[in-house]
Amino acid sequence: MGKRRGVCWLGVAAAVTLAHISAVASEFYFDRDTFSFANQTVFEYHQGHASLRKGPTRRDAYKRHCFVMCRTVMQFKKFARFDPRGAPLDDASLAARIRAVIHRAAWADPLPEDQRIVFPGYKDLREMSKARRELVQLNIGHGWPSYFRISNARMIFQQNAGYQEKTHEHLNAALARGGLFIGFLTTYPRLSINHSVLVYKRKLFSPNPGDERYLVYDPNHPESPRELVWSPQTRSFSYQKDWDFIGGFVRIYQVYGKWMQ
């Protein structure tokens, strides 16, 4: 009887924890808190397989910014607020406020509402990034430094399943705190994906018992969320199939969770 009660209470505790995770994470809304524009890929893709682009690439193509876009979405969620009743700022003032947001450490605690950087004239990040796309793109940071992050070396030296289990624990812990989790996705030494996404919510139900499914903001896909799956059986993550990825196994490394990460 004691064991049954223990199992019962564990089940209740797990359900309450999941409900708490969902309630906290629901404060992030995909159609409000993400960019309206896409990160363009360097290569062309056909059913997830990369190939060199045919013909010249537009000089103004906005590519190699997946890390920057995920980081900025997190920073705006933590440090900015919008006032749709105010008048939109001129270009110089808006650029200065955007830079004020991105110069804050992405891993720092969120600011109280009355201390946040205000963006008048727009109801949310998606609306502002649509109306002032080029200005936003010019002021959220360069993409090339992402290739030289010291923490990228983990894809070479930390390929074991145990590290992925710890990453899975950190992911759930971040969502339970009401936070966001930015991940570097890779299949190194294969090069089928080299990308960054932002995980913002854990789904409550999964068609495969035991698997845990998460909603993801993918900068390549501003139209709708993507899905990440954790399998305790294989102790690994998988990412959904799309035109730019064949789908399946990926390794994930947290970025922007702390200094030098």
* Sequence letter at residue 35: F
Of 143, 159, 179, the residue at which a domain comes to its end is 143
Residue 156 lies in a domain: yes
> Roughly what angle, to the nearest 10 degrees, separates helices 2-25 and 161-176?
70
pLDDT exceeds 90 at position 99 = yes
Residue 69 lies in a domain: yes
Question: What pLDDT, on the 0 to 100 scale, is given for residue 17?
Answer: 43
pLDDT exceeds 60 at position 238 = yes
Q: Mean pLDDT, the chain, as a whole number?
A: 87
Number of other CB atoms surrounding residue 52 within 10 Å: 7
Interatomic CA distance for residues 168 and 237, integer angstroms: 9
| Mean pLDDT, range 121-135, rounded to an integer | 98
Residue 230 lies in a domain: yes
Residue 115: give the domain boundaries: 30-48+61-143
Verify that 34 and 89 share a domain, yes or no. Answer: yes
Question: What pLDDT, on the 0 to 100 scale, is given for residue 43?
Answer: 60
- Determine if the peptide bond prior to 112 is cis (ω within 30°): no
253, 146 in Cβ contact below 8 A? no
Where residue 151 falls among pLDDT bands split at 50, 70, 90?
A: confident
Domain count, the chain: 2
Question: What pLDDT, on the 0 to 100 scale, is given for residue 16?
Answer: 41
Interatomic CA distance for residues 244 and 48, integer angstroms: 5
Where residue 93 falls among pLDDT bands split at 50, 70, 90?
A: very high
Alpha-carbon torsion, ordered 166, 172, 176, 181, to 10 deg: 90
Question: What pLDDT, on the 0 to 100 scale, is given for residue 14?
Answer: 41
**Token digits of residue 23:** 């309630």
Residue 21 lies in a domain: no
Of 118, 143, 168, the residue at which a domain comes to its end is 143
Verify that 138 and 156 share a domain, yes or no. Answer: no
Number of other CB atoms surrounding residue 249 within 10 Å: 15
Question: What pLDDT, on the 0 to 100 scale, is given for residue 20?
Answer: 42
Verify that 34 and 83 share a domain, yes or no. Answer: yes
| Strands annotated E in 111-246 | 117-120, 181-186, 194-202, 212-217, 226-231, 236-239
| Strands annotated E in 47-180 | 49-51, 80-83, 117-120
Verify that 251 and 164 share a domain, yes or no. Answer: yes
From the list 133, 105, 122, 155, the residue with the least C-alpha distance to 40 is 133
| Mean pLDDT, range 38-47, rounded to an integer | 72
Residue 18 lies in a domain: no
Task: Read off the pTM.
Answer: 0.84
Interatomic CA distance for residues 247 and 66, integer angstroms: 18
pLDDT tens, residue by residue, 103-125? 999 999 999 999 999 999 999 99
Interatomic CA distance for residues 239 and 230, integer angstroms: 9
User: How much of the chain, in percent, has pLDDT values that exceed 90?
Assistant: 69
Number of other CB atoms surrounding residue 83 within 10 Å: 12
Residue 41 lies in a domain: yes
Question: What pLDDT, on the 0 to 100 scale, is given for residue 142?
Answer: 94
Highest mean pLDDT among 25-34, 111-120, 150-159: 111-120
Interatomic CA distance for residues 198 and 231, integer angstroms: 19
Verify that 88 and 155 share a domain, yes or no. Answer: no
Of 143, 165, 182, the residue at which a domain comes to its end is 143
Pairing state between β 80-83 and 117-120: parallel
